[in-house]
Amino acid sequence: MFFEDKLTKGTGSLGICCLWTPQAKMREVVTDFALLGNLYSTEGISFLLRNLLLCPEIHTLIVCGKDLTKTGDALLRLFSHGLDEESFILGTDIKIHPQIDRGMVSLLCNQLRVVDFRSIPLSQLGSPCEVYIHAVNTRQQMVCSFPYEIPVVTAFPATMNGIVVHCDTLSSTYLELLWKVLTFGEYIPGTRELRNVTAVLNDTVTEYETWMPFTYDTYAQYCQQLLTTGDGSTAYHYGARLQGGEGYVNQIETLVTILSEDTYSRRAFATTWRPYSDPESESPPCLVTIQADIRNDQLHLTAMFRSHDGFRAWLLNAFSLRELQRTIAYQLQLPPGDLTIISHSLHIYHHDGETAQRLVDTKRRSHNPRFMRDPHGAWVIEVTDRIVAHHYSPSGEHLQDFHGISAHDFTRSLIPFVGNTYHAFYLGRELVKAQRCLEQNIPYIQDTA
């Protein structure tokens, strides 16, 4: 029996799926049943099927209670429409575990009586259920067991659009991006892909390392690509299109002039895209725009790629963009600030997948949460006659306070002001500890992150 500790067993012949309604409340109105359980998610349908197939004495399944996540709809559709050849409930994207024989599910759907009582108030369920207690059991009296196997997952669910990565160094950012594409990327023909991925690099240190998937000579040559005009031997050359080669306007020179005349200008923009020829080109540029701006006395640079080879090109592009950023910053007599790279399609080709995975496995290191600063600020927790959460900016300025007597009191108020997952977990632990100290009247000491 699966999730036996979560079920209520009886001696009758009814199965009762009470969806989101507490089992204790169901037991107050219905007492004669074989199994009583909840169904919170569609994943649970596979386990419900397993348990029904283990209990041929159950001749009727009552579906009742609050259907908060529409799991009742999905369950009833299974019994009314069945499964397709790939074990999806017909007309849905809900898949039954592959270990469960489709033929046995079909037999169960034909023999088990399924009754929808979701519209009946809980207090009135007793009499309608009694009607089925002594119904004739037409099920084949055969116990079928289908063990559950932990799946081997090759892609985990995540947002396919709009992932943001912040890391300390260019190389750690690169490895984090590879890991995200290999872990969460969607399979499309020839590649795994994430869309509109934003990488923000705060550290200006950019050094070549021997494990990188290119030679030092390639690295040194590529770093100059945005700074030179090229020799016209390639389909396109970023530097030529940006620096005035091949008859183009020198957009970088114009960009510097704009920022030197207006510090806060939003017009320091350059593009490599030629709308009159690139849409039909066999090799249009992947880098399409760059934009520079000055904020907090630093020169920031943002680059947009329409298509980005995450394994072979991203790191070389980032090195080259850093060199361009340094050059612009030097001309404006400013230090370089953030480099932001937006990849509309960040992908890894299938033929590079194994090599990229080995690189991630050997070189990627999980971030030490002690050194992960939250851009939304820091929190100091204090216990007096209540719990007080003091909010400070990253520079140490006191911003605001929140008050409560339980950890739950802070849930909604703090969420908008917490910028990373680790910090949220840490604050949750500390607030629970603070609540315990308040309730037991013992001193509270805040742990370091």
Contact 177, 199 (CB under 8 A): yes
Distance between CA 216 and CA 280 in Å, rounded?
34
What's 92-149 look like in SS3?
Answer: CCCECCCCCCHHHHHHHHHHCEEEECCCCCHHHCHHHHHHHHCCCCCCCCCCCCCCCC
Contact 19, 72 (CB under 8 A): yes
Distance between CA 40 and CA 364 in Å, rounded?
36
Distance between CA 414 and CA 115 in Å, rounded?
45
Distance between CA 239 and CA 149 in Å, rounded?
54
Among residues 129, 167, 223, 286, which one is catalytic?
286
Rounded-to-10 torsion of CA 331, 336, 338, 340:
40
Q: DSSP state, 151?
A: -
Q: Could you tell me which residues are beta bridge partners of residue 113? A: 60
Our answer to whether residue 223 is catalytic in this structure is no
Distance between CA 52 and CA 360 in Å, rounded?
44
Which strand (E) or helix (H) includes residue 343?
Answer: strand 336-349
3 state DSSP class of 413: helix
Active site residues: 286
